[in-house]
Amino acid sequence: MLSVQGVSAGYGRLEILHKVALDVAPGEIVGIIGPNGAGKSTLLKTIFGYLPPFEGTVTFENQTLQGRSPDQVMRRGIGYVAQAGGIFADMSVHENLVLGGYSLKSARAVNAAIEKIYAQFPRFRDRSRQRAGSLSGGEQRALAVARTLVISPRLIILDEPSAALSPRLIEEIYGTLADLNRSGIALLIVEQNVRRILDSAHRVVVLDMGRNAFAGSSDELRRSDRIRRLYLGEDAG
Amino acid sequence: MFEEILEFLILGLVLGGIYAMFAVGLTLIFGVLDIVNVAHGEFLAIGGYALYIAMVVLGLPAAVGLVVAPVAVFVLGLAVYPLLFAPLQKRLGRRAPGPLFLVLTLGLSALLQNSLLAIAGGEFLSVPPAVKGGLDLSFTYISGQRLLILAVAGASLGLLFLFLRFHRQGMAIRAVAQNPAAAQSVGIPLGRIFTLTIALACGLAGLAGALIAPLFSVYPAVGFTLTIKAFAITILGGMGNLLGALVASLIIATLEALSVIVIPSEWQNAIAFGTMILVLLVRPQGLFGKKP
């Protein structure tokens, strides 16, 4: 459903990604891993339209995405969860969810979607009037995920959903992501926590210095000595 | 003495209403676009001219003029982002340096003032008050125009706050002010929100210009002093804080009005800037601003 072909991108004139390729099939969880500075977040930002690619193509369900702004990309059915601070901190939990439905024209559709989200995340119903910025880090992340659900996305892009969370909260957020995936939503996840993403992802793409270094199933990656040494530490095995 | 104070308090409240309509708009633009709009006063002046054309040239009723003026300035405001700011942003990237926009709006201010001078001439045009008569309190008399200013300022600012609080586009404006990247990720088109924000602020300034036209006359530079004063107000209220701008407008206007009792009126303008300097030294984030 998502296809990235030969994409080079970066900031200003600085090229960070060099002819990167990537695919996500419907219902699939694809992880992107790699060392710091490998261009993982840059790739997500390029797919979602925050950065225009220098070259290459990005298509979603056979429609071209490159050259489109993030608000146009999301209207195609893609949700985006930023690494941190992706919520509207000074607004209430409910207002955050209402804004998640900004692209829907009917207020009734937005309210119905929010009702479904409250059923799925009852703690947000209890805290609907609470300032979103006063939620814990894990809850803010969950709210950012929940906010993407208002438009019923077919793909959600997540930038390090486990960053700065305790192991318990990491399991919680990955539990939520597994539920979403079971409901048919494809996920594209950049993750530093390699072991965690290998447990969840169907396939993994390794980026190194802005280039594709490996692409395969989580099991294939676990079996590759070189990749294991580089990305899972020497003791892997 | 008490009645004198009360009289000046009422004058301060009327003046505060005008300051607030102006400073809240300026603050809104700063909060959402991170741009200090030096040309804001000229939109106020255009509002005055629009009322003049409607009432004096075309002979339309005041009520029509008071609707036409802000709408005309709103429509003019719609052009500012796509024609001026967006091209500069596009050429320089989203993080175009702030001083460039400051100079750009300064240029716009000069251009608009000179255009008004060329088209309408430099004389002070007088506009009849929209409301005749007034309210005779035992200790003072408040003209109908001043009462109208109070009512319209209160109503328009109240509507603006309700719009920002509850309307879908108003919420989008707040979302962009807080977190532009997240706003884009939920489908909010930044350009459209920037355009709407500037137009709303300009419309509010245009309405303020139409309201004060009968009191201060209409001339090209009528808004410029107010722009400078509004900077002091926004700093006192906290840059980008709308409620802060509203409260600071009332504080500065009341101080100015009351100061007449104790200090010569030539010093009146020094009140705002004296307060601004004091605030910058003691509490740079302003009354309602967050600590940097």
> Structural domains in chain A?
1-77+153-237 (3.40.50.300), 87-152 (no CATH)
**With an 8 Å Cβ cutoff, is A47 touching chain B?**
no
Q: Which of A78, A88, A94, A98 to mutate to test the interface with B (most CBs of B within 10 A)?
A: A88
Tens of pLDDT, residue by residue, chain A (237 residues): 999 999 999 998 899 999 999 999 999 999 999 988 899 999 999 999 999 999 999 999 999 998 899 999 999 999 999 988 799 999 999 999 999 999 998 999 999 999 999 999 999 999 999 999 999 989 999 999 999 999 999 999 999 999 888 899 999 999 999 999 999 999 999 999 888 999 999 999 999 999 998 888 988 888 877 777 776 664 544
State how far residue A5 is from chain B, nearest Cα, in angstroms: 23
Residues of A within 8 A of B188 (CB-CB) are: 71, 99, 102
Residues of B within 8 A of A151 (CB-CB) are: 187
- Interchain CB contacts (distance < 8 Å): A and B: 72
Three-state DSSP class for residue A201: coil
Indicate whether B141 belongs to any domain: no
* Residue A191 φ then ψ, to 5°: -145, 135
Work out the average pLDDT over B213-218.
Answer: 92
Indicate whether B142 belongs to any domain: no
Indicate whether B164 belongs to any domain: yes
Quick check: B171 and A50 CB within 8 A? Answer: no
State how far residue A226 is from chain B, nearest Cα, in angstroms: 37
Quick check: B188 and A12 CB within 8 A? Answer: no
Q: What pLDDT does residue B263 have? A: 82
Please state the ipTM of this predicted complex: 0.91
Among A87, A91, A107, beta carbon nearest to B174: A91
Nearest to residue A214, comparing CAs of A197, A201, A231, A199? A231
* A96 → chain B, closest CA residue: B175
Confidence of residue B221 (pLDDT cuts 50, 70, 90): very high
Q: Which of B32, B186, B196 to mutate to test the interface with A (most CBs of A within 10 A)?
A: B186
Q: Which letter does DSSP use for residue B291 in this model?
A: P
| Residues on chain B bordering chain A, Cβ-to-Cβ distance under 8 angstroms | 93, 168, 171-172, 174-175, 178-179, 181-190
Judge residue A190's burial from the number of C-beta atoms within 10 Å of its C-beta, 0-12 exposed, 13-18 middle, 19 or more buried: buried
Cα separation, A187 vs A61, whole angstroms = 15
Three-state DSSP class for residue B79: coil
- The answer to whether the beta carbons of residues B223 and B270 sit under 8 Å apart is no
Nearest to residue B253, comparing CAs of B217, B220, B283, B208? B208
Q: What pLDDT does residue B124 have? A: 94
Among B93, B171, B190, beta carbon nearest to A99: B171
Q: What pLDDT does residue A236 have? A: 41
* A104 → chain B, closest CA residue: B187
* Helix (H), strand (E) at residue B143: strand B141-143
Residues of A within 8 A of B185 (CB-CB) are: 48, 70, 74, 79-80, 82, 86, 148
Give the structural domain span for B198: 2-120+147-282
* Helix (H), strand (E) at residue A180: helix A167-182
- The answer to whether the beta carbons of residues B123 and B221 sit under 8 Å apart is no
* Helix (H), strand (E) at residue B97: none
Quick check: A71 and B184 CB within 8 A? Answer: yes
Q: What pLDDT does residue A27 have? A: 95
Q: Tokens for B285? A: 């984030």
Nearest to residue A114, comparing CAs of A132, A135, A96? A96
Quick check: A99 and B93 CB within 8 A? Answer: no
Indicate whether B167 belongs to any domain: yes
Q: What pLDDT does residue A234 have? A: 46
Among B93, B186, B190, beta carbon nearest to A100: B186
Task: Give pLDDT tens digits for B42-78.
Answer: 999 999 999 999 999 999 999 999 999 999 999 999 9
Whether B292 shows a pLDDT value over 60: the answer reads no
Judge residue B291's burial from the number of C-beta atoms within 10 Å of its C-beta, 0-12 exposed, 13-18 middle, 19 or more buried: exposed
CATH code of the domain covering residue B196: 1.10.3470
Q: What pLDDT does residue A202 have? A: 95
Among A90, A103, A107, beta carbon nearest to B187: A103
Among B174, B178, B189, beta carbon nearest to A71: B189
Cα separation, B3 vs B9, whole angstroms = 10
Q: What pLDDT does residue A232 have? A: 65
Indicate whether B108 belongs to any domain: yes
State how far residue A99 is from chain B, nearest Cα, in angstroms: 7
- Angle (deg, nearest 10), helices B168-178 and B2-33: 80
Cα separation, A220 vs A225, whole angstroms = 10
Indicate whether B135 belongs to any domain: no
Among B93, B168, B190, beta carbon nearest to A102: B168
Quick check: A151 and B187 CB within 8 A? Answer: yes
**With an 8 Å Cβ cutoff, is A153 touching chain B?**
no
* B181 → chain A, closest CA residue: A86
State how far residue B185 is from chain A, nearest Cα, in angstroms: 6
Indicate whether B244 belongs to any domain: yes
Cα separation, B69 vs A95, whole angstroms = 34
- Give the 3-state secondary structure of A22-58: EEECCCCEEEEECCCCCCHHHHHHHHHCCCCCCEEEE
* A146 → chain B, closest CA residue: B186
Number of domains in chain B: 1
* B166 → chain A, closest CA residue: A95
Confidence of residue B96 (pLDDT cuts 50, 70, 90): low
Q: Which residues of A, range 93-122, sit inside 8 Å of B by Cβ?
A: 95, 98-100, 102-103, 107
Q: What pLDDT does residue A233 have? A: 61
Indicate whether B7 belongs to any domain: yes
Q: Which of B185, B241, B243 to mutate to test the interface with A (most CBs of A within 10 A)?
A: B185
